[in-house]
A and B are shown apart, each in its own frame.
Chain A
Amino acid sequence: MNIIVCVKNVPFTQEVDLVLDASKQDVKKDNLVYVINEWDNYAIEEAIRIKEETGGHVTAVTLGKEADEEVLRRCLAMGADEAIRVERGDLNPDASMIAAILSAVVKTIPHDIILTGVQSDDLNNGITGSLIAERLGLVHAAVVNSLKISEGKAQISIELEGGQDEMSQVTLPALFAIQTGINEPRYVSIMGIRKASKKEIKVIDASGLGLPGEDLQPSLIMEEMFMPPETEGAEMLQGDAGSLADQIIRIIREKGVSL
């Protein structure tokens, strides 16, 4: 079973007050700490679990700068066998460019399963996985919260709205965009780090993939990034617990949620 996992190094933004930079095209990132994208952490864990159960080979791939290799070392330390960094150079890719570049890379590697996260914590496009699959002509499913592999098939569960799941059977090869909570990702061990430090990370230049020019043009042009306007103050409810509950339910109904 050959599994490829696409991962991304993203700024850790929980409990951080984000500030826009002068270009108004991005947030200031100088003081931000980078971590593996939360969804990708579940994806790499899922890949390693499949490998541990059925045997196989896990390759982690990222599109980024040299500093982003730390996310690949993390994957290796968790148990991935191989890691590839696609050097992005001066490109500032949107989701369609990321998908074009990553699909050109993974196309050349044998694969039964490709895993991505549902979305990335920085730009939240939520479409990269599906775009890669479409480019490769692969069956795909997003928001996968359960994955069982047997005899060349995958039993998957897809998270729908309203707490419902949809069960499907998919014939491999296929791409799955993994949802958080599908497993409990392991911690990185010192032994894993030591093992990872001895492995070489393969570097491929994005500009050398032979992609047509239009694939390296963004299809999405960002005009301006801005902070959401501050909303009006909160409405303070009064009363005992019972009356508070009634008022809250009334407000929720008024706002259009069916209870």
Chain B
Amino acid sequence: MDFEFTKEQKDIAKAAREFALGEFVEKAEEFDREESFDDSIMKRAAELGFLGIFLDERYGGAGLGVFEQCILQEEFAAVDLGMSVATLTPVFGSEIIQKFGTEEQKLRYLPSLTSGDAIMGCALTEPDAGSDLASAAATAVREGDELVINGSKIFITNGTRADFLICFVVTDPDNPGKHRRHSIVIVETDRPGFEANKLRGKLGIRASDTAEISFNNVRVPRSNIVGEQGNGFAEAMYLFNLNRIAIAAQGVGLARAALEESIKHVKKRMAFGAPLAAYQAIQFKIADIFTLMQAGRNMVYDAAWRIDQGRIDHRLVAAAKAFCGQMAVKCADMALQMHGGYGYLAEYRVQRIYRDAKIIEIYEGTTEIEKIIVAKSLLA
């Protein structure tokens, strides 16, 4: 067992940090306040090869693994999570196309994603189906060589900026197995009947676009189905397993940001004639944040490494996601507490870290869903 990064992984971490420091720092506060983003930053990241590093070189990726994607996620999130999500999610869901798509679909959709010329997203969650994904009700009905899609989706990342979405829709309502009723279908967002509205007022990751979406008789060719018809649930779960660990890595990045901000603050801020750092009440919090962060990071590395070895451990992935979500929230809370009144102000970065952290517990499977997965596997 070797706990060291390879030289290449070290170089990737350094390059990612340099990019994020160079491109995110100045704009993060504005994009958070305005709920906006500048896509030229994403395009620059794409030119440098940061988008879809897990995709095959044939499709413009770097042919690297989930582990390297986790390195990127941690480094970007340690600078700003909102901008990180806006920068890295244009390829969100491409894993499904690469794994289950036809060669024609891969060549048609993936290269434009890795080059930054196109943006995609995943439309899975519905107003009445979130954690209970199998009850998603949007339908795709066959008419000749076409599918006619109706229904609505919510909390869709990149909903208003995407060129196409992979959508989780019912194609086989009569199948007795509830996990065999859905398919993943590519929907280009310029098709008639597609509508997306940006959701405003998010607590955190406000640079990231989140939308509600409606399909009103949207027609797509049947060839837009990704993978086998009726296999949508399994494909969605495949994606979750890869992405959950990347989300956990975001939590590690946030904890690192919380630690960095806290150390800077407690060395500077004086109380009772000494810097805050001189007091054990503060020292214990600093030690706790480091310990929790490192524990989370070890879980992420372990789970991500197993995925790249082709030996995915669903329980470990879920446990890492649950731990890192709660860990990020707790670390951000301790960091803000150490900042006192300053931390309550928007101009202090720790406030943004605090607001951003909560999403780690929600998207790509809530903490509760992750714990159910862990418990089911232990009690089976």
Contacts and interface: CB of A to CB of B under 8 A. Distances in A.
B12 interface: yes
Interface stretch (B14-22, B102-110, B220-228, B307-315): B14-22
Contacts, number: 50
Interface string B52-63: 010000000010
B49 to A, nearest CB: 3
B376 to A, nearest CB: 37
Nearest to A196: B11
Interface in A174-215: 187-191, 193-194, 196-197
Given A70-B7, A197-B11, A190 B49 contact: yes
A70 B14 contact: yes
B47 interface: yes
Nearest to B17: A33
State the main secondary structure of chain B at its contact with A: helix
B10 interface: yes
B10 A190 contact: no
B48 A187 contact: yes
B8 A189 contact: no
A73 B10 CA distance: 11
B7 A197 contact: yes
For chain A, the bracket of interface size reads 10 to 19
A189 B11 contact: no
Contacts of A35: 14
Nearest to B11: A193
A10 to B, nearest CB: 14
Given A70-B10, A197-B7, A190 B15 contact: yes
B33 interface: no
Given A15-B264, A17-B267, A194-B62, A187 B11 contact: no
- Chain A at the B interface: SS class: helix
A197 B44 CA distance: 22
Contact of A73 (B7, B19, B62, B64): B7
Given A15-B264, A190-B53, A190-B62, A70 B11 contact: yes
A190 B14 contact: no
Interface residues of B, number: 20
B15 A187 contact: yes
A15 B265 CA distance: 12
Interface string A1-37: 0000000000000010100000000000000000100
B1 to A, nearest CB: 21
Nearest to B267: A17
B76 interface: no
Contacts of A77: 11, 15
A187 B49 contact: no
A197 B14 CA distance: 14
5 contacts: A188-B18, A191-B48, A191-B49, A196-B11, A197-B7
Given A190-B15, A194-B8, 7 more contacts: A70-B10, A187-B18, A187-B19, A190-B48, A191-B49, A191-B62, A197-B11
